[in-house]
């Protein structure tokens, strides 16, 4: 079920009313109802894949209990590997089977050997990369004795399948989210209002910014040779804001919906396009995934405690795996490797001094230059992320830097394009104003008269209504 669908518009208030009006007296009943609602939410897309969520839930719940009872380190490690291999096995089969098979066949052909194998028509289950990582982190944390395993099956099952963040995160840690399923939840009006505001901002970013940017990004990436370099520059710009508004919009909606049910999810984006370096960008972009790789891959590999060679190796591994996590394609692997190289260049050659606040005009100019440079580096990387294959990516880059770079863009509908650029500018202004808040409009017009605030919210609703598409456009990260 998509957030931006009529189905969800009907689903959410019904679930909300039952949750707070019928089952609110019992934590157990609330959790059972969340499980039922979440399975219905996910099964609306394809009920057949509910067994995968159920499998991950059952395996990791009982693995956690077994780890607590087991003292022998060898057996504890064996139990942990059962959890990891089960989850990675499910993820690997459904998401990467054909990728490895095709590359295995191609490897044989390089040596003049013929090897035939039949690819399977596998549908990648929505959200599989997210909930498998969430359950793996639970087992690892129990193994390392950072948390105690829960014996409350319904609380754990609700933690795994919680519908606001089930299909595209944020990837929550058991230490933060699981205890919230064990304590009594009461509806707090102010938190509900705050959640609705964040939902509103998320829908604005998705339906007004992302979906409009998508039209021009799709044109540029689908018909690269038909457009001038200046048009391709705009194509990259539009995709950069499409993927940001699309994914951060989803995160805002997920966090806001969770607030309606008395839960607090972690912030997943912190105005990443205002970063002054690639290192800072990765502290602000998809925070739940970045910190997951930091804690469960980078630190176990040695991190900064290792030698220089070890540190470089760790960074390369983390970013390449991160790229591969996004999709079974060499474009994602190259995208991850590209960011690894940019990260290392920044780490070894950028100034190690503490970032100071912009005070003088020169400081502000330098800050703006760093932001623009970082955004440009990130945007070039998005070419690999968006392209359908490596040939298309390199073709795009080749045509990007040509003599027509300073020509007038040759998109057909310049007026509509100008409107999209206006909305991007509006987005940047609002996000800059609210950059210190958990989401941009949390404190916008906070100290102003109520009429001004509600007029602003009404304006956002007007834009959302204006650009509501009869064709429900899925969120980009649903495919991951």
Q: Which residues are catalytic?
A: 326
Q: Up-side HSE of residue 289: CA atoms within 13 Å toward CB?
A: 22
Q: Which of 479, 429, 393, 478 is nearest to 273 (CA)?
A: 429
Residue 335 tokens, joined: 């995208």
Query: Cα–chain-centroid distance for residue 262?
Result: 22
Q: How far is CA 290 from CA 102, 283, 296, 297, 407, in A?
A: 29, 7, 10, 10, 39
CA 309/CA 304 separation, integer angstroms: 10
- Cβ neighbors of 47 (< 8 A, separation 6 or more) are none
Query: DSSP characters for 162-224?
Result: -GGGTTT-----HHHHGGGGTS-----HHHHHHHHHHHHHHHIIIIIIIHHHHHHHHHHHHSG
Q: What's the rounded Cα separation, in Å, for the pair 382 and 380?
A: 5
Cβ atoms 149, 64 nearer than 8 A: yes
94, 180 Cβ separation under 8 angstroms: no
Spell out the residues 6+ positions from residue 148 whose beta carbon is closer than 8 angstroms to its own. Answer: 68, 142
Burial status of residue 357 (CB atoms within 10 A of its CB: 0-12, 13-18, 19 or more): exposed
Helix (H), strand (E) at residue 12: helix 6-21
Q: Cα separation of 368 and 372, whole Å?
A: 6
Buried b vs exposed e over 378-417: b needs ≥16 C-beta within 10 Å? bbebbbbbbbeeeebbeebbebbeeebeeeebebeeeeeb
Q: What is the DSSP string of 370-404?
A: HHHHHHHHHHHHHHHHHSSSHHHHHHHHHHHSSGG
464's tokens: 């959302």
């Amino acid at each position: 079920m998509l957030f931006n669908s009529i189905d969800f518009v009907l689903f959410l208030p019904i679930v909300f009313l039952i949750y707070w009006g019928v089952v609110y007296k019992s934590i157990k009943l609330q959790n059972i109802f969340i499980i039922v609602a979440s399975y219905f939410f996910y099964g609306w897309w394809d009920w057949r894949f509910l067994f995968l969520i159920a499998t991950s839930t059952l395996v990791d719940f009982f693995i956690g209990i077994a780890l607590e009872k087991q003292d022998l380190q060898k057996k504890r490690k064996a139990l942990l590997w059962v959890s990891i291999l089960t989850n990675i096995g499910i993820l690997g089969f459904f998401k990467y089977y054909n990728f490895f098979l095709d590359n295995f066949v191609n490897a044989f052909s390089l040596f003049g050997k013929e090897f035939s194998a039949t690819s399977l028509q596998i549908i990648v289950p929505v959200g599989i990369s997210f909930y498998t990582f969430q359950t793996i982190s639970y087992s690892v944390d129990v193994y390392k004795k950072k948390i105690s395993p829960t014996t409350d099956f319904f609380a754990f099952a609700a933690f795994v399948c919680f519908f606001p963040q089930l299909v595209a995160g944020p990837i929550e840690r058991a230490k933060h989210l699981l205890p919230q399923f064990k304590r009594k939840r009461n509806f707090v009006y102010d938190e509900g209002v705050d959640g609705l505001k964040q939902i509103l901002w998320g829908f604005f970013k998705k339906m007004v910014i992302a979906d409009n940017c998508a039209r021009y990004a799709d044109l540029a990436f689908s018909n690269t040779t038909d457009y001038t370099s200046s048009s391709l520059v705009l194509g990259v710009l539009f995709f950069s804001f499409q993927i940001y508004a699309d994914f951060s919009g989803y995160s805002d909606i997920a966090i806001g919906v969770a607030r309606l049910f008395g839960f607090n999810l972690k912030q997943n984006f912190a105005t990443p396009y205002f970063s002054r370096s690639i290192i800072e960008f990765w502290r602000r972009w998809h925070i739940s995934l970045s910190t997951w790789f930091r804690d469960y891959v980078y630190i176990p590999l040695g991190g900064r405690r290792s030698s220089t060679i070890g540190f470089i190796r760790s960074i390369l591994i983390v970013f390449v795996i991160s790229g591969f996590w996004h999709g079974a394609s060499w474009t994602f692997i190259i995208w991850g490797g590209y960011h690894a190289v940019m990260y290392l260049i920044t780490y070894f050659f950028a100034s190690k001094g503490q970032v100071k606040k912009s005070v003088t005009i020169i400081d502000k100019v330098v800050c703006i230059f760093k932001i623009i440079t970082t955004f440009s580096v990130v945007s070039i990387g998005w070419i690999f992320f968006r392209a359908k294959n490596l040939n298309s990516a390199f073709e795009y880059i080749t045509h990007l830097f040509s003599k027509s770079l300073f020509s007038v863009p040759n998109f057909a509908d310049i007026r509509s394009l100008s409107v999209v650029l206006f909305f991007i500018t509006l987005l940047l202004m609002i996000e800059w104003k609210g950059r210190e808040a958990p989401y941009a409009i949390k404190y916008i017009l906070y100290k102003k008269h109520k009429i001004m605030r509600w007029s602003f919210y009404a304006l956002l609703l007007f834009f959302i209504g204006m650009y509501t598409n009869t064709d429900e456009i899925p969120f980009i990260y649903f495919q991951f």
